[in-house]
């Protein structure tokens, strides 16, 4: 049961919407005060009364019942105590009823969210910088789906640009088919690096010609390009499979080749295009931004031109309610410009475009830097994490069967969780030891808690059921309340585009469960107490699994 909803239904304040009341109901920091609280400060202005008076008045108008057993007004807060037995019964009942759907909802029904994420550049292997967009986007994709939205995952391929002319030129000079076929994307990348180090005037000219050939539809040039593209997609697919992410569309920059002219025409007809040093721009000085470049002086389109065409195409094709761009904060200006230009074009839906920006990931041994040649490939990080997980798991429990399989879940989980645990905008330093620690705020800790719960349950022959009228003790009740807050946590995570709320929820729940586990006997308890504790354990396991699944992390039965 949604207690916030229950409270919001029962409280009426003139001039304040139910939604506002709903979103104001919070968990008080100190559970002595109450189980839920409504801070009344926000309403002081509308009601022209002090928060303390408002709280008092609301209190006297509130009838307690079987669900809310006590209300008090303290320092401008209205505090609620819930009927513990009732809450426990409702929450556990709900979890058992919904199972792996617990936390899901229909709140997104009929709405569409496009999520542009991971967007690979053809011929460039993933480095650790691509981790965040891939796992953040992947988590948002699953989260919105879980909340009933229609979700469109888009991989806006970086498949357009003069670099592909260079690549073909390098291949023609130094490459050979078997080697590239065998070496895959890294062989292609090596060719590109070599071109940048060694190409002379002559080769630069050839590269421009190859680019022109791709553009003009030349068969051979396009075949080579498509081959590079398929090698790239094969390479990323392996990583996507491991991280559990998927896409509904791979319409990349090249896809918009024939869709840019109409945008340019529209800009022109709306008097938004200006010439500047031979180039075509949209002047954004009035908005304190540098101009958005639409066409270079040689007539070539730009990254922004293709993003304009892409946004319009997506609106026409999917009629989204929101379109998210999960892209590093380095592109803040780019998206501000693109969104502003669309707004100036009169697209009222420009307000529904959201740049979901995130920070940088570096490794402990020094920042990832392409220029210094110190690139850390993502697959190496993943493999190393799985290897280390194998060692960690083996050390903890040498007799485990299926150690490889378990290490895979633990290692991949650690990579994902490591990238998702902090607010997305923060720069993070990735540490293998930290993300693979059994203690602390890690997926390993959460997975281990699941294994612990599993082991208790299998020893009890999977019994345990909802017990009518059972009054939970303080530690049990902390767990119950945390379980009850899961659906709300998911909605907040979606509202703020912050999968880290889910990661933190999982760690909190695991911590609360472990306190309960250490302090309260489960298997040696008796009667109703035992039944309730087993049921609680089952509910925790289910909820942790659901939370981790949204992040793309699997849970081994044993660890």
Closest contact distance (angstroms) between CB of 124 and ligand ARG is 8
- Toward ligand ARG, which CB reaches closer, 195 or 325? 325
Closest contact distance (angstroms) between CB of 245 and ligand ARG is 15
Going by the DSSP 8-state scheme, the letter that residue 100 receives in this structure is G
Burial of 66 (0-12, 13-18, 19+ CB in 10 A): exposed
Q: Which among 505, 453, 456 has a CA at the least distance from the CA of 483?
A: 505
Closest contact distance (angstroms) between CB of 157 and ligand ARG is 7
- Toward ligand ARG, which CB reaches closer, 103 or 161? 161
Q: Please report the DSSP string for 261-281 in residue order.
A: HHHHHHHHHTT-EEEETTEEE
- Toward ligand ARG, which CB reaches closer, 23 or 121? 121
Closest contact distance (angstroms) between CB of 130 and ligand ARG is 8
Q: Is 390 helix (H, G, I), strand (E, B) or coil?
A: helix
Q: Is 440 left (phi over 0), alpha (psi -120 to 50) or beta?
A: left
Is the CB of residue 296 less than 8 Å from the CB of residue 469? no
Is the CB of residue 415 less than 8 Å from the CB of residue 382? yes
- Toward ligand ARG, which CB reaches closer, 158 or 165? 158
∠ CA 85-89-91, nearest 5°, is 115
- Toward ligand ARG, which CB reaches closer, 163 or 442? 163
Is the CB of residue 400 less than 8 Å from the CB of residue 558? yes
- Toward ligand ARG, which CB reaches closer, 236 or 466? 236
- Toward ligand ARG, which CB reaches closer, 235 or 532? 235
Closest contact distance (angstroms) between CB of 108 and ligand ARG is 22
Distance (Å, whole) CA 403 – CA 198: 47
- Toward ligand ARG, which CB reaches closer, 34 or 158? 158
Across-strand partners of 112?
150
Closest contact distance (angstroms) between CB of 125 and ligand ARG is 12
- Toward ligand ARG, which CB reaches closer, 164 or 325? 325
Tokens representing 429 are 């330093």
Closest contact distance (angstroms) between CB of 116 and ligand ARG is 5
Closest contact distance (angstroms) between CB of 325 and ligand ARG is 5
- Give the binding site for ligand ARG (CB under 6 A): 116, 119, 121, 156, 158, 307, 310, 325, 327
Other CB atoms closer than 10 Å to residue 482's CB: what's the count? 21
Tokens representing 546 are 């659901």
Distance (Å, whole) CA 540 – CA 143: 19
Distance (Å, whole) CA 230 – CA 363: 30
Distance (Å, whole) CA 369 – CA 376: 8
Burial of 437 (0-12, 13-18, 19+ CB in 10 A): middle
Q: How far is CA 98 from the centre of its chain?
A: 23
Closest contact distance (angstroms) between CB of 355 and ligand ARG is 9
């Amino acid at each position: 049961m949604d207690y916030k909803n229950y409270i919001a239904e029962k409280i009426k304040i003139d001039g304040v919407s139910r939604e506002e009341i709903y979103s104001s109901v919070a968990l008080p920091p100190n559970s002595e005060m109450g189980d839920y609280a409504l801070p009344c400060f926000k309403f002081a202005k509308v009601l022209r009364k002090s928060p303390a008076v408002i709280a008092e008045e609301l209190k006297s108008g509130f009838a307690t019942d079987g669900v809310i057993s006590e209300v008090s007004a303290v320092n401008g807060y209205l505090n609620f105590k819930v009927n513990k037995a009732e809450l426990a019964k409702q929450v556990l009942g709900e979890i058992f009823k919904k199972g792996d759907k617990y936390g899901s909802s229909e709140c997104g029904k009929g709405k569409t969210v496009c999520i542009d994420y991971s967007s690979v550049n053809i011929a460039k292997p993933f480095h650790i910088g691509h981790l965040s967009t891939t796992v953040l986007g992947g988590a948002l994709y699953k989260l919105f789906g879980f909340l009933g939205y229609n979700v469109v995952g888009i991989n806006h391929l970086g498949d357009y640009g003069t670099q592909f002319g260079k690549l073909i030129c390098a291949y023609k000079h130094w490459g050979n088919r078997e080697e590239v076929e065998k070496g895959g994307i890294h062989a292609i990348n090596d060719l590109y690096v070599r071109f940048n180090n060694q190409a002379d005037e002559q080769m630069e000219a050839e590269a421009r010609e190859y680019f022109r050939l791709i553009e003009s539809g030349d068969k051979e040039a396009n075949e080579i390009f498509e081959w590079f593209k398929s090698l790239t997609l094969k390479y990323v697919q392996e990583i996507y499979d491991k991280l559990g992410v998927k896409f509904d569309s791979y319409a990349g920059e090249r896809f918009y080749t024939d869709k840019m002219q109409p945008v340019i025409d529209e800009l022109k007809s709306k008097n938004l295009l200006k010439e500047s040093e031979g180039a075509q721009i949209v002047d954004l000085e009035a908005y304190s931004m540098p101009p958005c470049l639409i066409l270079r002086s040689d007539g070539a389109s730009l990254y922004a031109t293709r993003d304009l065409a892409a946004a319009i195409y997506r609106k026409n094709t999917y009629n989204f309610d929101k379109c998210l761009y999960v892209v590093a904060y380095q592109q803040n200006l780019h998206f501000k410009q693109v969104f502003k230009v669309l707004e100036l074009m009169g697209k009222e839906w420009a307000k529904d475009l959201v740049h979901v920006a995130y920070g940088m990931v570096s490794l402990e041994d020094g920042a990832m830097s392409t220029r210094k040649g110190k690139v850390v490939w993502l697959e190496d990080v993943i493999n190393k994490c799985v290897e280390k997980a194998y060692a960690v798991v083996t050390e903890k429990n040498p007799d485990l069967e299926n150690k490889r399989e378990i290490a895979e879940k633990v290692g991949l989980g650690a990579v994902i969780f490591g990238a998702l645990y902090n607010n997305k905008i923060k720069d993070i330093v990735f540490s293998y030891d930290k993300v693979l620690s059994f203690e602390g705020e890690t997926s390993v800790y959460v997975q281990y808690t699941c294994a612990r719960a599993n082991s208790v349950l299998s020893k009890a022959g999977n019994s345990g059921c909802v017990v009518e009228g059972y009054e939970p003790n303080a530690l049990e009740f902390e767990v119950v309340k945390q379980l009850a807050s899961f659906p709300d946590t998911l909605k907040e995570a979606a509202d703020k585009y912050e999968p880290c709320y889910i990661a933190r929820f999982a760690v909190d729940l695991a911590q609360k469960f472990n306190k309960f586990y250490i302090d309260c006997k489960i298997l040696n308890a008796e009667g109703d107490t035992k039944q309730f504790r087993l049921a609680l354990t089952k509910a925790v396991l289910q909820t942790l699994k659901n939370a981790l699944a949204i992040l793309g992390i699997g849970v081994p039965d044993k660890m």
